[in-house]
Chain A
Amino acid sequence: MENGDADGKPKRAAGRLCSICNQKKPALKRPKTLEQICRECFYSVFEEEIHNVIVDNHLFKPGERIAVAASGGKDSTVLAYVLSELNRRHNYGLDLFLLSVDEGITGYRDDSLETVRRNEVQYGLPLKVVSYKDLYGWTMDEIVKTIGLKNNCTFCGVFRRQALDRGAALVRADKLVTGHNADDMAETVLLNILRGDIARLSRCTFITTGEDGPIPRCKPFKYTYEKEIVMYAYFKKLDYFSTECIYSPNAYRGFAREFIKDLERIRPQAILDIIRSGENFRISTSTKMPEQGTCEQCGYISSQKLCKACLLLEGLNRGLPKLGIGRSRGPDRAKKDGKQRTLLSGVKGSDLQSKQCGTLDF
């Protein structure tokens, strides 16, 4: 529907044209630049900016098998669509496929997986689904029945991180891409400051993580505003799922998110500035960082004897669901004085913790 002069409705945005092509009526205001641009110019700058991020950061190499972590939500749906477009247009030579995790949440994940299955057909990308039930012997429904609605997001977040890695390994992926966007990044920087989590703060803005591990992860939407992702999905009529997880309260993250959105309304640039602040933090050399090793039980990367997933699983299986809950601290922490804390955070590179729930807070 156009509201141009032609149909006698010159009232809105009258006389102003797209600041890029200077020909068409603008359709949106870009948060990043405050430019008013038309739909076609929006598609091309949106896609080309992501292409530039991919090229400038050497995210992919020709011939790589890339797993797109797909939840059926807006970010991963747009990511799968844009990546397959760019792969064709710029001859990346990537072998793309969708990877989904079935947490076993009735009425939520079963519905969103239907969306991913439609995406499989719409974008012609093969889909692999791994389930908590197969990997851990428990569905989230069963876990919540046992432990209640406290800490359930911790289980889900830790399990999802490993499930994606294991799924990616199963299908022999070289890399995993996730749909974390600029708003998510800003929120995570803020949360890591609020929690004093220096280990995560230092790596949460990296565009690629886990390069020393088996499956590196990267975030092509690191600088992409959530508003533009949603506008893109709306204008392109992409099919995505948007219902809040029935188990997700996560109030603390909710406050951070709300704060970021309030800031964005006053000054949209704030989001990129927070990311830049995160990128430029330097960790004091006297801060002791966790040493990385591998889990004695499953071999997954871990800074403790057991990785967080194995610890949580042991608690579940032994009927001690509190095991592994709360920030883990190094055994030597008690010996240190208060000035020099050992900053440990369970599973390595847990920047995915930044998006603990497949659905963030409503």
Chain B
Amino acid sequence: MRLTLEFGGGLELLCNSVKIHHVDVDLKTGEDKLSMRDLLTWIKSNLIKERPEMFVKGDSVRPGILALINDCDWELCGSLDAVVEEKDMVVFISTLHGG
């Protein structure tokens, strides 16, 4: 499944300072959908190069990190149970930096 993933608010530092990643995520056989829960696992093992504890806590993103699916707050779409589809854009932004 092809997806566009974007990391902002300092999270890009955890993936070689690259903000936008065009990725192809392999789905489990027989499935055509991917949950955010599965996507986070995939990101943790494929994109995060350092300090994964800055991105995930337990099975979710660290509190204080916002996630949007196609520019919609993931809290409106079921958070971890939200489903992403082909060509979706998922954005993660850390709010944990100063201002």
- Chain A: residues with CB nearer than 8 A to chain B? 1-3, 9, 11-13, 16, 25-29, 36, 71, 73-78, 179, 181, 183, 226-227, 229-231, 234-235, 240, 242-245, 257-258, 261-262, 264-265, 355, 357-362
- Establish whether residues A71 and B98, one from each chain, have CB atoms under 8 Å apart when the complex forms: yes
B48 in the interface (beta carbon within 8 A): no
Assess A231 versus B66: contact at CB under 8 Å? Given A73-B97, A240-B99, A362-B96: yes
Assess A231 versus B63: contact at CB under 8 Å? Given A71-B98, A244-B97: no
- Establish whether residues A362 and B95, one from each chain, have CB atoms under 8 Å apart when the complex forms: no
- Establish whether residues A230 and B93, one from each chain, have CB atoms under 8 Å apart when the complex forms: yes
- Establish whether residues B69 and A3, one from each chain, have CB atoms under 8 Å apart when the complex forms: yes
How many residues in B have their beta carbons less than 8 Å from beta carbons of A? 31
Q: Of A11, A29, A359, which is within 8 A of B97 by CB? A: A359
Instruction: Tell me the smallest distance from the CB of A105 to a CB of chain B, in Å.
Output: 13
Instruction: Tell me the smallest distance from the CB of B52 to a CB of chain A, in Å.
Output: 13
Told that A75-B99, A362-B97 touch, could you supply 9 new A-B pairs with CB distance under 8 A? A1-B89, A11-B83, A12-B76, A13-B72, A27-B72, A229-B95, A242-B94, A243-B10, A361-B96
Instruction: Tell me the smallest distance from the CB of B69 to a CB of chain A, in Å.
Output: 7
What are 17 A-B interface contacts by the 8 Å CB criterion? A1-B89, A11-B85, A12-B83, A27-B73, A27-B76, A28-B72, A28-B73, A29-B73, A74-B95, A76-B99, A179-B99, A226-B64, A229-B95, A242-B10, A243-B97, A360-B96, A360-B98
Chain B residues within 8 Å of A74, by CB: 9, 95, 97, 99
The 8 nearest A-B residue pairs measured at CB: A75-B99, A73-B99, A359-B98, A261-B63, A28-B73, A360-B98, A261-B64, A12-B77
Chain B residues within 8 Å of A27, by CB: 71-73, 76
Q: Of A9, A29, A355, which is within 8 A of B85 by CB? A: A9
Within 8 A of A (CB), among B23-66: 54, 62-64, 66
B70 in the interface (beta carbon within 8 A): yes
Instruction: Tell me the smallest distance from the CB of A183 to a CB of chain B, in Å.
Output: 8
- Establish whether residues B70 and A234, one from each chain, have CB atoms under 8 Å apart when the complex forms: no
- Establish whether residues A25 and B72, one from each chain, have CB atoms under 8 Å apart when the complex forms: yes
What is the CA–CA distance of A114 and B96 in the complex, to the nearest angstrom? 21
- Establish whether residues B98 and A13, one from each chain, have CB atoms under 8 Å apart when the complex forms: no
What is the CA–CA distance of A64 and B75 in the complex, to the nearest angstrom? 41
Assess A12 versus B72: contact at CB under 8 Å? Given A234-B8, A262-B63: yes
- Establish whether residues A242 and B9, one from each chain, have CB atoms under 8 Å apart when the complex forms: yes
What is the CA–CA distance of A28 and B75 in the complex, to the nearest angstrom? 7
B5 in the interface (beta carbon within 8 A): no
- Establish whether residues A28 and B97, one from each chain, have CB atoms under 8 Å apart when the complex forms: no
Chain A residues within 8 Å of B73, by CB: 26-29, 231
- Chain B: residues with CB nearer than 8 A to chain A? 8-10, 13, 54, 62-64, 66, 68-73, 75-78, 82-83, 85, 89, 91, 93-99
Q: Of A9, A13, A78, A362, which is within 8 A of B10 by CB? A: A362
Assess A36 versus B76: contact at CB under 8 Å? Given A1-B70, A71-B98, A71-B99: yes
Chain A residues within 8 Å of B95, by CB: 74, 183, 226-227, 229-230
Chain B residues within 8 Å of A26, by CB: 72-73, 76
Q: Which residue of B lies closest to A356 (CB)?
A: B98
Chain A residues within 8 Å of B94, by CB: 242, 362
Instruction: Tell me the smallest distance from the CB of A295 to a CB of chain B, in Å.
Output: 28
Chain A residues within 8 Å of B96, by CB: 257, 261, 360-362
Q: Which residue of B lies closest to A183 (CB)?
A: B95
Instruction: Tell me the smallest distance from the CB of B68 to a CB of chain A, in Å.
Output: 8
Chain B residues within 8 Å of A362, by CB: 10, 54, 94, 96-97
- Establish whether residues A13 and B77, one from each chain, have CB atoms under 8 Å apart when the complex forms: yes
Q: Of A77, A243, A244, which is within 8 A of B99 by CB? A: A77
Q: Which residue of A lies closest to B77 (CB)?
A: A12
Chain A residues within 8 Å of B63, by CB: 258, 261-262, 264-265
